[in-house]
Structure 1
Amino acid sequence: MNDAPAVGELARDTKRDRIGVVMGNEGGLYQLRPPGGGLEWDVRPVNVERATQDQLLRARVRDTNRRSREGRQAMNSNADRSRAETSPPQSHTASVAGDMTSVRITGTDANPLENGASSA
């Protein structure tokens, strides 16, 4: 390639259709890393070209969409796990001496003597 990208410039891997920052050029291969960080990959010089602004924008949109999908999947699996781990609320019943009024309090930390109930 005549107009090879320099270290630190954005380049396009034409074989994989990926954009990366040129990290080096060793052993006859370019080392590219995603613009937002991540693992480097090797590219043959015939498959490297300078990235255009249009290509960079498309790569950023694709990366943002991927992270958004991964985030939604993680949130959904955490919500599912949270629902599975949550036990139903416990119920406590307390009788108030004298008029035999029954008080039902729902909640795991509920104290039957709170909320106006008293012991005799």
Structure 2
Amino acid sequence: MIQGRFGDKGQIYFDINLIDTDGLSLSVEAMLDTGFTELVAMNKQDVQSLDWVFLRQNKLKSAQGESFFDVYLGRVVIDDQEFEVTVFAGDEIREILLGSQWLKIFKLTADYSENEVTLE
């Protein structure tokens, strides 16, 4: 189980680790975005700095309409579990996003009144 936190506007954040191709682990804060239906989205420049393998381009619907994203194969650690995942990269992505696909793997518990949010 990992503890998260609520942002000023009700966003949900979790600390995760990104693993680069050399095995170096980088701790980052990621925002849960249930409107994003894939696993992970990041800024393209950040993905390239991790030297992850480029797979293809995909077209996805976003809040701005349909957009093309570069798709990479990345490694993330959530709740001490390492996952090899597809990562959607774009120039306009400002935060690391965890998509709703994670809710097929983890149970989300959020209690705003108690200021508690977890993935288990």
TM range (shorter): under 0.3
The structure that has the greater radius of gyration is: 1
Structure number with higher helix proportion: 1
* Higher RCO (CA < 8 A, seq sep 6+): 2
Q: TM-score, normalised by structure 1?
A: 0.24
Structure number with higher strand proportion: 2
